Structure 1
Amino acid sequence: MNRLPIFLDLRDRRVAVVGQGSLAARRVDTLSRAGAEVSLFAEHPSDEFAPLEGKYRHGDFSAPEAFAGFGIAYFAYEPGEQPNEALIARVREAGTLVNVADYPALSDFITPSVLDRSPLVIAIATGGDAPLLGRMLKARLETLIPANYGRLAALAGAARAALAKKLTNQQARLRFWERVYDGPIAETMLAGDDATAKSMLDREIESCRPDGSASGDAPTGEVYLVGAGPGDPDLLTFRAFRLMQQADVVLYDQLVEPAIMDRVRRDAERIYVGKKRANHALQQEEIGELMVKLAREGKRVLRLKGGDPFIFGRGGEEIEKLAAHRVPFQVCPGVTAAAGCSSYAGIPLTHRDYAQSCVFVTGHGRDGPIQLDWASIIRPRQTVAVYMGLAHLDFLTKEFMRHGADPALPVAIVENGTRPNQITLTGTIADIAAKAAAHGLRGPTIIIVGEVVTLRDKLNWYTPHRAPEASDA
C-alpha cells in the first residue's frame, strides 16, 4: 500500500480550490457539502459556479500570503490545460497538501471515488493509475449497498453510549452489534421503519445479557414477500436481491425462473409450493400456514413470487394470514408481467398516438373463465393486458367480439416473456386463438390487446438467446 487512506473532518477547515471550469465547480460543491470553508482561486470562473454562489470565497492569487493557512488545496485543471508547477510548488511551500486532478505524480494525496451513505462512507482508489476502474467499482457497490445503511449507521451511533453503560466488555459489545446488524433490527431499518427499529434497539440494549447475547425470549422470524419479476434475473430489484441473500428458507413456485433461484443464498432451504394451472403443490391456505409456522420458528422466510405479488399474485391474501397471526412481514414489489413482457416484445402499453390508458385483467377465475366488465374494457385508445388467459383464449376472444370489439383489433401473445425462450405471436382478435393453438403455446403468457401492438415491427429490440422459429412474429 503506497498511499494511506484517511477520512478528514473538514468542518470549518480552510480548503483552496484552483480552477475555473466544471471540475473545479464539482470540487467546490463537494467540499462545501462536507462543511469546509472553501476559497476559489480563479481568474474567470465559468457559469457553472453561479449556483454555488455563497458556498465559497474568492481567493486572490496576487496576495503575498494567498495560500497561507490552508490545510489542503485542489488544482482542478480542465482537459488540455497544463498544470502551473510553479504555483503548485508555491502552495506546497506554504505547508499545504496538494491534489492535482489527473496528475498523481504532482499530488500529495488523491481523491477516491466515494460511495456516500452518510455517516457510512466508502472510498475506492487505484493510486491514480486507473480512476475509471475505481468509478466502475463504485457503481457496482451502489447496487449492493442500500441507501438506508447510512440511517442504520446513524441509529447505531446514537445508541453507542447507552450500550457502553450496559456492557463494559468490548467483546460483549462486538457480539451485540454483530447480532443487531444481521438481524431484524437492521432489516426493519433497511425497510424504512426508523421508529420501530429504534424501539427494537432500545429494548435489545435493555434486555441483553452481560456477554452481549440476546435474552431468553423466543426467536422472532419474519416473512419477505418478494416479486421476482417476469423471468430475466437482471430485472430483480436491489432490495429483492438483498432479501434473497439473507433468507433462511425460500417458498417458490412454478413461475420463478431457475436463474433467479440461483441468486438465492446457497445454504437456504428451498420448498416448492406450486403452482401450475389446476395443479397446486400446496393449496393457498397451506402456504399461509407454512409461512406462519416457519416464522414462529425464528426463520427468515422468503416468499418468492413471479412478477409482482400484488398484481394477480395473491400476495394480499398471503399477508392477510401473516397479519392475522401477528407475524412480521415486508413486501418487495417486482416488475409485473405486463410491463416486462410488453417491453421485451417492443410493445409500449401506452402511446400518445395509440393508447392513453391501459387496464390489467385476469382471464382466469376460481371456477374457470372470469366474467369481466366488458363495457370498461372495450374502449377506444385503450390497451388491455390479460394475465392467465391462455387456457380460455378462445372464450375470451369471442367475448371481446360479442361485446363490440373490432375483429381486426391487433393482439399479441408473449410466451416466456423476458426469458431466453421468449416467443411473441401477433394476430387479431379474430384469429389469435387459432394461431396460438397452431403454435402450441403453453405459457406462461401475457396477452396484449390494442392498437399499440402494431408498433412491434418498428420497436422490437430484444433478441431471445435462441434462433427464433419462422412462425415467431
Structure 2
Amino acid sequence: MVSNSAKTAKLNAFPVFMRVEDRTVVIVGEGEEALAKARLLGQSAARLQIVADGPESDLVRWAADNDAELVDAGWNFAFLEKAVLVFAATGDEARDMQVVADARQAGIPVNAVDRPELCDFFTPALVNRAPVAVAIGTEGAGPVLAQMIRARIDRMLPPSLGRLATLAAGLRERVETALPKGFARRSFWRDFFGGEPARAIEAGDEARAGDAVDALFARAGAPKGHVALVGAGPGSEDLITLRAHRLLMEADVIAYDALVPDAIVSLGRRDAERIAVGKRKGCHSKTQNEINALLVELGRAGKRVVRLKSGDPLIFGRAGEEMAALRAAGIAHEIVPGVTSALAAAADFELPLTLRGVSSSLVFTTGHDLKGKSLPDWAKLAISGATVAIYMGRTNASEVSRHLAEAGLSPDTAVAVVENASLPSRRMFHGTLADLPALQHRSDLAGPVMTIIGDAVAGANFDKSQPLRARIEAAAAA
C-alpha cells in the first residue's frame, strides 16, 4: 500500500520561533516597507535598529514612540556587528541585494521584503496573544492568503488567552511535582485550558481562576488505564472520526495494525509510544494472544491506549477477543467505530449498496467463507438479491465465483473490485461473476482488495474502472 504520508508536500521553509529578547534586529530602509517590518518586530522584545538614509516622517515618529534606534545613514557592513536578524526593506533591488550579500557574509539570516528569491527566512502573518503566538507562513507566495488566515484565527482566540498562558507558566512546577507524567498531566492541562480556570480568566476574575485551579488539583488522582479500540477507516486519514482523532491526541501508546497507513498513526501526539502489532495476511508480527496480553499490560500500567485497527474494529477486526481480555482484566475500554472498507469501496464506485426494488439487504463476509465444500447460509441471500461485500477475497476469487454460480447466482451478476479503497493509489475494476476468477491471478494487487457482488452494482459509475478481463484478453490477443 502506498502511504498518504509519502505524498505529503515538503516545506521549503521550516517554521521556528527564534529568541530575540534583548538582541539586535536590523531593519534597512526609509519608507513604508521598513515601517511595516518595524511594526511587526515591535511586537517582540528585540532591540530594533533602523538604518535609514533619509527616513520618511512616519518612520521617524514610529521609532521615537517605540524606543527603536533610528540611524540616519547609508548602509554599512559595520551595522551587522551585533545583529541576529536583518531585514532589507529599501525598495531598491541593488541596495537590498547588497544588504543580503553582507548579511550572508556575516552568517546572519536575512529577509528581503517582497523578494522571496533573496530570503533566508520569511516573516509570518502573526496572531499575538503573548506569550502565545500563532504564525502563518506561505513561503512568500501568498501574503494576502496569510493575512486572511490570520484574521480568521484572530477571531477564534480570545484576548484573554495570553493571561491564561501566563498563569499556566506559573503552575508548571506545581503540576510537575503533584502529578505523574502522562495522561494525568495532560488531563489537568486540558481541563485548565478548556474549563473553569479559562472561563474565569476570560471574565477577568483572577481570584475565581485560582480557586478553580485548586479544585483541579484536588480532583487529580492516580492515572487509570484505558484502552480504546479505534477504527482507522479504510486508509484515507480524513475519513477517521473526530472522536478517533481526539483519542489519538490523548494516547500514551498507539498499537496499530499493518494496514493502518503512517499518515493516520502520525495523527497521534509526537511523544506517544507507537507499537506495530502486524496483523496483515501472511505477516503477523504478534499473535492475537500476544496483542491481548499487551493491551492488558498497558492498561494495568495506567496508560491511555489506542488500539488502531483498519476499517471498523467490529467487522473482521477480532475486537471481540480483545474486549474479552480487557473485561476479564477489569480494564476500562471503549469502541470507536470506523468506516469499513466495503463502504469506502462503494463510495469510490458511487455504488448503491442497497437499491430500492433491487436489493434491500447487505452481507459482509470474507473470501475464506467460500473455501469449504459447504455453502454458507448467507449465500442464499445473495441469490435472492442481497449485495455481497467480500473482504480479503482476491486469492480465492475463483472459488467464490464457482460456489456462487453453482448455488444459482447468475454468471451475469455485476461485480465491482477496489484495491486500496479511499486512497489516491486505489485501482478499480468491474465485470461479472463469470469474470471474477481473473482477479485471482492479479498478483500486482498488493493492497487490500474489496469485492462487491450483486444486482445493485450495475448502478455504479464505471468511468474510472477497468474491465476485470482486460489483461486476459490482451494476453490472448498477443
State the TM-score bracket (shorter-chain normalisation).
0.5 to 0.7
What pairs up with 1:367-378 in 2 under 5 angstroms? 372-378=376-382
CA contact (8 A) 2:371 2:400 kept: no
Structure 1 315/371 Cα, relative in aligned 2: closer, same or farther at 3 Å? farther
The equivalent of 2:419 in structure 1 is 415
> Deviations 1:287-308 (Å, cap 9, x if unpaired)?
0000001111111111000000
For structure 2, list consecutive stretches of 5 or more residues without a partner in the other structure.
1-147, 158-173, 195-213, 472-478
- Cα separation, 2, equivalents of 1:226 and 1:441: 27
Match of 2:455 among 430, 451, 469: 451
> Deviations 1:92-144 (Å, cap 9, x if unpaired)?
xxxxxxxxxxxxxxxxxxxxxxxxxxxxxxxxxxxxxxxx9799769999xxx
> Deviations 1:78-104 (Å, cap 9, x if unpaired)?
xxxxxxxxxxxxxxxxxxxxxxxxxxx
Structure 1 375/445 Cα, relative in aligned 2: closer, same or farther at 3 Å? closer
Residue identity in the other structure for 1:313: G
CA contact (8 A) 2:420 2:426 kept: yes
The equivalent of 1:344 in structure 2 is 348
- Cα separation, 2, equivalents of 1:362 and 1:185: 45
Structure 1 180/387 Cα, relative in aligned 2: closer, same or farther at 3 Å? same
- Cα separation, 1, equivalents of 2:362 and 2:272: 39
Structure 1 346/212 Cα, relative in aligned 2: closer, same or farther at 3 Å? same
Match of 1:385 among 371, 382, 389: 389
- Cα separation, 2, equivalents of 1:455 and 1:288: 42
1:443, distance to aligned residue in structure 2 (A): 3.4
1:270, distance to aligned residue in structure 2 (A): 1.1
2:292 pairs with 1:288: yes
Residue identity in the other structure for 1:407: P
- Cα separation, 1, equivalents of 2:308 and 2:373: 26
Match of 2:318 among 314, 323, 335: 314
Structure 1 379/265 Cα, relative in aligned 2: closer, same or farther at 3 Å? same
The equivalent of 2:404 in structure 1 is 400
- Cα separation, 2, equivalents of 1:296 and 1:267: 20
1:235, distance to aligned residue in structure 2 (A): 0.5
2:246 pairs with 1:242: yes
- Cα separation, 2, equivalents of 1:404 and 1:138: 65
- Cα separation, 1, equivalents of 2:373 and 2:155: 47
The equivalent of 2:131 in structure 1 is none
- Cα separation, 1, equivalents of 2:385 and 2:154: 44
Does the residue aligned with 1:290 lie in a helix, a strand or coil? helix
1:310, distance to aligned residue in structure 2 (A): 0.4
What pairs up with 1:187-226 in 2 under 5 angstroms? 212=218, 219-226=223-230
Give RMSD over aligned pairs.
4.3
The equivalent of 1:359 in structure 2 is 363
- Cα separation, 2, equivalents of 1:211 and 1:457: 58
CA contact (8 A) 2:349 2:461 kept: no
How many residue pairs get aligned? The number is 289
2:279 pairs with 1:275: yes
1:461, distance to aligned residue in structure 2 (A): 8.0
Residue identity in the other structure for 2:242: F
- Cα separation, 1, equivalents of 2:375 and 2:330: 35
Structure 1 336/285 Cα, relative in aligned 2: closer, same or farther at 3 Å? same
Of the two structures, which has the highest relative contact order with CA contacts closer than 8 Å and spacing of 6 or more? 2
- Cα separation, 1, equivalents of 2:187 and 2:226: 10
- Cα separation, 2, equivalents of 1:394 and 1:440: 17
CA contact (8 A) 1:369 1:392 kept: no
What pairs up with 1:48-447 in 2 under 5 angstroms? 182-183=186-187, 212=218, 219-364=223-368, 372-438=376-442, 440-447=444-451
The equivalent of 2:19 in structure 1 is none
- The two structures have a TM-score, normalised by structure 2, of 0.52
- Cα separation, 1, equivalents of 2:156 and 2:354: 32
CA contact (8 A) 2:411 2:433 kept: yes
Does the residue aligned with 2:342 lie in a helix, a strand or coil? helix
- The two structures have a TM-score, normalised by structure 1, of 0.53
For structure 1, list consecutive stretches of 5 or more residues without a partner in the other structure.
1-131, 142-170, 191-207, 463-469
